[in-house]
Structure 1
């Protein structure tokens, strides 16, 4: 009996990992518009099995992107830790836009205003507070346009979701170009052209 229960638990773990892998893969390629039915089919399980593990779509999204949230938080912490806040803004924009080019669903999920769990909402709010601090420090440096706001930065990341390309390599190249154009636009009037270098 114990062996049978252990086997059932093992099967459940395998199913869960299959569903998370399928969700990550499809969200990464196509964004959050992927349906739970498509994810279940990709994972070779029924939709009922998927809902037993993840009673709501939001729970599935949050579980699928748990690692990505950690990476995003690390990028923001690294940006804030740089001595020059301009370099922090540059690192943040370049890494986030490239990250989005590689994983279309994550940034869409991270900046969404929709329903989230209290834990995810808390993490998101903490990230936004850190970004606000970084923006304030960068503006004070005199090399960043003085009217930049957190909403502007979120607008940049939202625009990055529209980057297209036949391959991931094409999307990453486009994201890097978009990063440079964005950084040029954020430079304070009168700053020298190499002020982001």
Structure 2
């Protein structure tokens, strides 16, 4: 299993907009449509990545914990579905249902959105403040498949808490590690 780190997009970057179809809703979503009052979490995931499968329950818990606190959340899959048919939109809809993902799970067929965010791996996390400026791009926590460290979501939760409770953001941000995005 290859381990690819995040590219660590510069902090302060304005959130790139998008218009992508949701596989678990019958509509197109833009950044503006999913944006939260206090901030927005954009994550790049896919159905088959062992790193995503390892943390998907914690991702869903974070979504449930923070949406009610003004954080918008969206997941995007940008993988090449010709070479990786398990990541096709119909399978994404099933994955969302099976994992109780009730926030938009979008399909980036052209991979333009992944490129705009400089996404490199799954999972890759981007947290924007209320002004749509990037304040966190890093890991969920130190847990990885097989390393024995319990999943806590601590790094991402601390970053979201900083936005929600108007605290100072930790400038030390570790890159996420996961499977590389499957480029065309």
TM-score (norm 2): 0.26
If each structure's strand is expressed as a fraction of its own residues, which one has the higher value? 2
Please identify the structure whose Cα radius of gyration is greater.
1
If each structure's helix is expressed as a fraction of its own residues, which one has the higher value? 1
Structure number with greater CO (CA < 8 Å, separation at least 6) is 2
